[in-house]
Amino acid sequence: MYASSSHLPESSRVAIVKTLNERLADGLDLHSQIKVAHWNVKGPHFAALHPLFETFATELAAFNDEIAERAVTLGGLAAGTARHVAASSRVPEYPQETTRGLDHVRLLAERFGVYIQGLHASRAISDEHRDADTSDLLTNIITTFDKHTWFLLASLEG
């Protein structure tokens, strides 16, 4: 660990950086999957889904950056190469042959659920170590992706 202005003991920072890197791997993987959906979506819902997926990807990219920067702020390193992500992500592989709009919606909703579960686990770790700043960051991401999941699930109703 590197020097940090954090009030947290090093053992806490180590645990939080580890969980943040786990979420970074999931987030980077999920971002690439959202982009695959964005690029390949076809069908009658294209006009609505194409920009919606781009919005999801843009917001997730910003959150990934915040997670990485938080890990470094705590004195750790951010691990986010493609190889690291491939070896570490808990998000299921995305079926590359998917084109139908509502198939993308279903697949992304499932993956958002996995991502959110990981965020909750990381927030529990940051709460355990009394890191309110990391907990706040994770709560913001959870709230945003809960809303995005609602958008997707609402699209499947009917």
Structure confidence by residue, pLDDT tens digits, 33-87: 999 999 999 999 999 999 999 999 999 999 999 999 999 999 999 999 999 999 9
**CA-CA distance, 78 to 88, in Å (whole number)?**
13
Cα–Cα–Cα angle for 15, 135, 60, rounded to 5 degrees: 95
Q: Compute φ and ψ for 70, nearest 5 degrees.
A: -65, -40
User: Burial level of 95, CB count in 10 A (0-12/13-18/19+)?
Assistant: exposed
Task: Take residue 84 and report the two structure tokens written for it.
Answer: 């690291």
The DSSP secondary structure of 46-98, one letter per residue, reads: HHHHHHHHHHHHHHHHHHHHHHHHHHHHTT------HHHHHHH--SPPP-TT-
CA end-to-end span of the chain = 52
Percent of the chain residues topping a pLDDT of 70: 99
**CA-CA distance, 118 to 90, in Å (whole number)?**
8
Mean pLDDT of the chain: 97
- pLDDT of 3 reads 86
Supply the pTM of this predicted model: 0.96
More confident: 157 or 91: 91
Task: Take residue 69 and report the two structure tokens written for it.
Answer: 């920067």
